[in-house]
Structure 1
Amino acid sequence: MTNKENIMKSLRELSLKIDGEKECGVTAKDISDSLGLQRNIVSHLLNVLNKEEKAIKINTRPVYFIDMEVYKKRKGELKLVTNCLESKKGDAKEGNVSEVFKKLIGYNGSLKYVVDQCKSAVLYPPMGLPILLIGSSGVGKSFLAQIIYEFAKASNSIESPERFVIFNCAEYANNPELLSATLFGSVKGAYTGAERDRPGLIEEADGGVLFLDEIHRLPPEGQEKLFLFLDKGVFRRLGEAERWRSAKVRMIFATTENPKDNFLETFLRRIPLIVKIPSFQERPLSEKLEIIQSIYKKEAITIKKDILVSNKVINILLKSKSGGNIGGLINVIKLSCASALEGSSYKTIKVLKIKINNLPIDFMENFDGILSNVNFADMFISSSGIEDTHYFNKSSSSISDLTSEIFKFAEEFKENDITQEEFFRKCLENFNKLVDEIIFNEIDKRRNAVMFGSIKKITENILVYIESEYGIKYFANSSEIITYIVIYFMEYYNENEEDINELIDYMSEKYPKEYKIVTKIIETIETNLDIALNKILNLYMLIYIKSFNQKKRSDRTSAVLIAHGYSTASSIASVANRMLGEYIFEAIDMPLELSTPEIVTKLNSYIRETNISNGLIILVDMGSLESIYKGITKEFYGDLAIINNISTYLALDVGSRILNSESVEQIAKEAVKGNVSKYNYIPLSKNRKNAIITTCLTGIGAAKKIKDLMDKCFTNDEVEVIAYDYEGLEGNGKEGNIFKQYDVRLIIGTSDPSIEDVPYISVEDFIMKKGESLLKNALRDVVDIEVIDKINREVVKLFTLENVINYLTILNPSKIIDQVENALYNLEIGIGFKLPNDLKISLYIHISCMLERLVIKDPIMNYNKSEEFLKYHIHFIELVKKAFSVIEQFYKVEIPISEIGFIYDSIKNKVSDFKL
């Protein structure tokens, strides 16, 4: 018997044994254990049986199956199975209204945010919100408008569900008077040829939906009439002087142009929802494949022939830069089918084969001639109505084979047939096979030098960060290997996503710290390059990152540092991990405003997400020992030690003992003995060293990066550059210890702490070339004039806006500058005045650093005036959220109130009379 037949037989036998009071069905694992087959194979074939209506699938967690015939016979006694099915049907019923959006490829992917916005606009009481769809020609604006109308009809949001009026404003673009008459109607004699009263499209669409395509062709006077209708719901026919008419019409507009350049501001203000639809090339690979498949599917049904599309044809369709987007793609695919039919006998041919020579010549002229190896061969599409597209793998050494082997290793490990060390060794062998195949057989980096260089640079920055923060030492060629596999998986397609996710979840439980790092790497790459990577990449990246620490024991005690301050714990953990050469310590920073219960909440979250069965040691800086202990006892079962008075020396001592596998109790006792405080008194030197302080309003991290940048400008040791906390400077003023230890000549930063007699230069002044005289005055009696001139030249060279942002963050500077520019433009419109140039540059830097914090999930959540700010500046908060909505969507982040508070302070510091 085949595997499918065996699985069907096993499903029937197990279904007959189901306890109707206790069980929901049979899992893939049940059958896998029964037959000794790999679980992913069983899962795949069960899904096939479900499509063939031989098995019922219950989409719970875990997923259950039951034999269709057995269920029909035993339905009365299988009460729990029936309850599970009814529950899912109920969920489906609630989602029936939303089913219309499932026609839209990407509705739950790249277009999910678009769909959510459109739903909200339709359901907004009492009459919904106008929607403007923007995007290149052929992206599907008209199709989306049709679906929005269907959703409005299905949700009973419109009074006249049969009324959906479509009009292309380009039809009368050269005749504004006729265009206006077509929209609003006209009275007899209103224009030449107007022999009687005529209603317009607005009256025709009363109670329904009016879709105006190419709305940018509507002249300004037409826009004025339209925004009056959007405002008041009233209009006049052309030539009508006294009577006002009214109508209830949902409005959807579409344009291929930039709204700011083509519409009156008053008109745009009446459209709260502007939705950008991505082009075909901006879609993720999986969606592009689905689009190609769906178009060929329609053709297969139309011509009543099965279709087999060559892998190379798919590659070309995926990569061609030809215009027209999806609309253009539909024409190309139709022509490819027509070409293939022309060279065949229609009556005798069973399967229509689409090859490269069937693609139109003008389309091929826009192709760059580069074919990449996606990991499937030909796409087979049936002419029946059943969704049964298949991708046929050709290579026996393909990624699917390597991944299937890892599934097998995981099952062997679960069954204790192999040790964890053997399991990982086998996984690493498969990873190395993958790398060999990619580097030596698949990818030529010269083929896509720009993409390769971009990913490699991002990867290098991330690896440096990982070594600094977690103490994980990477290999010399790591950035190149990661770049190769990222490019490879950008073009990979796998069907068994559910199985892959399950395996990744299992691996992340075994290697939680490495998985945390992998998530950070992949999120950063996806955000910076605006790409979506296949989830299977997480699996192979996890194996690779784990190989950096291959000898690390899995039964090691866990350790957490908790300290007051914005980055105290992080700094100590970073130093300790780096010096110990391993990722030992997690850090929880505790700003003074943060309460002990909030810290306990963070700690409990860490405990729930981490395997701490081998004990936990918590190092804290002062107080709160008893409160922390009481707060986590409900969450924690095992040996626990909390040690007070944290220091780097104490962390290194505890870390070394963890590496030596000492018990939790022994570590606590010995570490406390060896860390009694000592002192050494050194009288103040009369000759204090000259210093320049770098500082930043939002924390010491950015100040350190500005210091590193300034260090590059100095070639002597006459002046020391010191990164210092902004709050400490502003709060202590000249009384701060730093001014007793050093002769501070200058402060450089993103916000002026206003220290008496100490000059301040902002980073934006350096960028705008305004800092030269201040720098000369500050250093004139410290270094020679030639040295100052040389420093100034270095400053001019290094302090450009793009270079500073590139240095301060891991984000793409050219992209982030454009994005922030658009956001600030929208903010200026909201606040009603233009921001000064120096303030703009300051905000470019501040916002870039803020976005990096949000991307790596490390935002500044404390803001010392949070409640007051939220109470008195709600309008400013709303303006910022609106202005930055595109950035939030692009980076998949949400700007917290605390970060908006810092933006407000940055503006207030420069514009003294600013109130909002």
Structure 2
Amino acid sequence: MEINKKIKKLLSNEDKKNPLTDQQLALKLNVSREKVTVTRQKLNIKSSKERLKPFLVEEIRSIIKKQSNISIRELTKVIQQKGYNASRYLIDQEIKKIKSPFYKKEKEIENKEIKNKKNGSNIEDPFQTVIGYNGTLKPQIQQAKAAVLYPPYGLHTLITGESGVGKSYLARKMFEFAAQNRKISENKFVVFNCADYADNPQLLYSHLFGHVKGAFTGASNDKDGLLSKANNSILFLDEVHRLSPEGQEMLFNVIDNGKYRRLGETETEHKVNLMIIAATTEDIESSLLATFRRRIPLIIELPSLKKRELQEKLDFIKLFIARESKQIKRKIILKYEAVRALLAYTPVNNIGQLESNLKVICAKAYLFFVTEVKSQVEISLDILPSEIRRSFLNESVDREEIRNLLRDDIKVEPALDRNLITSQEKNIYNVTEDIYKYIEEKNQELSGIGIPQEKINTELTFRIEEKISRLFDMTKEDFYKNKNMLKGVIGEKIYNLINEVMVMLQEELPELVLNSQLQYALAIHLDAVWQRIKSGKLIKYPDLENIKKKHPQNYAVAEKVINFINKRSDITIPRDEIGYITMYLNTVTGPDERENDQSEIAIIIVSHGMVASSMLKVANYLLGGSKVKAVNMSFNEAPNKVLKKLIALVKKIEHSKGILLLVDMGSLTGFAEIIEEKTGIKTRAVARVDTVMLMEAIRWSKLKDISLNELVARINQSNSTNLYNKKKHKVLLIYCMTGEGVALKVKDYLLHRLFNLEREYEIITTGIYNKDLEEFIADIEAAKELVGLIGNLRPQSFNSNIFFSVDEIFSEEGLERFKERVGVQEFKQEDIKIDKLIDKNIIFPLLKVNSKDEVITLLAEKLKEKGVVKDGFLDAVKKREEWGVTYIGSGIAIPHADSQYVNYSQAALAIMENSLDWSGYKVEVICMFAIKDLGVECFKEFYKILKENIELIKFTKDINLIKEALLNG
């Protein structure tokens, strides 16, 4: 029986008061929870909570009809006694809806939309462009519409959700909806970021409410504030959690009475009619005053990207790539495997980060196109960042659902806009500017990791030639035969100057007569130079003296060109430009040589078994294809037979730059000499091939000027000592000004969050109150590679890019920056092991306490002392207890809080000497979980061991024995 039939059958017989959760269904069907969730959604079956609600609401209505003043606590007790599996929090939410007139308004809107749809209304709903309009966000959009239409001026609303989920975007759509429905008379969406004045109440008050002359020093005139601007419209308060308590209190009178006073006014009150929309990423219970929360009647919670439907995630990907496609005026091809990886990837900062990532990815794809690495703007698996490439393997996604969404590559076309310049113009213009950017960035990157300048110059010269060749290839297009179009792009001044330059060049180099390609290429290049100089950007050529020695004639002509331009123009072009002009001249004065250099070195990979073809398949998959040939040898195949195959193959393939054999065993390297002797074709061999070597060989073989011997030298050098990585032992230094205690706490935190960190880096912790920090760092750097420094004071002479303050490391943003800069993101992060959860210093056997609150406070404070949790954890745990009791049976309670208050996963354990009342249940063991990176399976395993060993744990004072029981059962 298919899974959808099985699910339908199980749900048809479920207890309506206790609907089966996806996890329970998964256990019954022996499949993953994700599989059940996806199948249920495809069948349009609601979640267990949504299936429960109709019955629960009916039960609540029945009870409050008889007992209208019943408390939430008593109501919850009655409901649960009737057999409903419903928390106090859920019951509280539903009874608020039942009693709220806003709930009726939401239903009215839903009915009106259904009616309009039946009547074929053509009114365009601003929300229809929101991804998830009829999907994941349908309830939130219905709430938003109801809030806007609520009389008289709309219902003040708080939008919550993680960073990057689209809170500001939803607020903007609410404004557009209000304007469309004439709920606002002033078409102004007034935005105020509360973070800007969070620490200055006076400026905050002035900015929001305005001030009168003389209200404070510098107030020379009366000034209206944002409230006045937002009158008869909407005021959006972004990052409202950054408002101080005083700032929140300032808004009370506005929300309650629609009145306010400007700063400095004592009697006059101003009337204002407006709707306030606020947004926050924080937990509102801990970040906003209770009195402020009560004044905001509607809370709309936006889900994270991970909780959105996969189709919606694909829509976001298409949308963001379409924007970039419009920007570069070119079609972008999104390869099938790349889409799969992107769908599996869950960015930390949700939709915002996904958009940012795709901008970078599209830029990289465009660069590969411009530099002719690829023939089209193509997002393939190999150009995705490593964390995205790995996501399809690591994330728990439903591959079948991805297959149902995708069958092939996705082609994204740019939106047509005739007012924009053509894609051809922009591509050519950007090629020239990209030469400079590439040189600056690559030079800085390579010199920063210790590559000799000579090698850097050689590499950059290759790249400049490739880019200039690309520019000349573009000038073959018919577009550039239209001189008026060229003049429109670069301006008449530069156009006329280049015409004069061409006259001079033709006198020096007669072969350039009528060479329009050079004219167009130089025109575009000179315009980019002009703009760069005006903006104050330096122009450098990586190896000017070497160019002068290799191409003396063209160098001398280029020098005359620069001198000529400097005399005829109002800016001075630096001498480094002589190098670039020389390269342009080289390109057109030696076309035959340039064409011949386009061929690549032929590569053949030879290995025993089926390894050669397998390695080539992987390399082609990651690099997007190659001309490499693979020869598989069986283990009992005679070498002479293989040699004959190779000779026949060598004669067939293009070999103008020679043949490279990559072989698995050293004995096969002798084939190269025999092949060259038999065929007369230059052949070289490198042994101990692996996939990485093959990929490097393929990439390097595409370099225009590389010879066969140079390619072999590069591969051998890469095998012995990696050019791009220092081999010194890598070190992280963590220090504290007053002693080693804080440094050890930071180390403990990092090892819990980044489980493989200690395998890759030596971690040194120290106090520096009695040390010269600069000297201490210098001693480390003399023998080792210092890749990161964490402390509470930055050394003046130290590289700030790899310094991290202690406070920064304990923030999620800071940890992400640390991972990126130090390279930790390359590590495979596995689920935390149970031994990481247990610390004997936070196990308390036979504890004597008098109340639930007392033991919660004790355990939370111990976790705080150890650095496991942040400020606010204790309050969050207590708040969680108010929503629903955390007793889980067998005399065990597991109080906990949201992961935003946790630095790393840890469990604190208290074993009561006498059982403790836990909201009506008897509890002997309290396990307080601080959950950050904890895997579900790890939690289940820990709880299973705890439950199985509960009798031993309850009656022993030996902490080591308790820890041993929890670790090994």
TM-score (norm 2): 0.31
TM-score (norm 1): 0.33
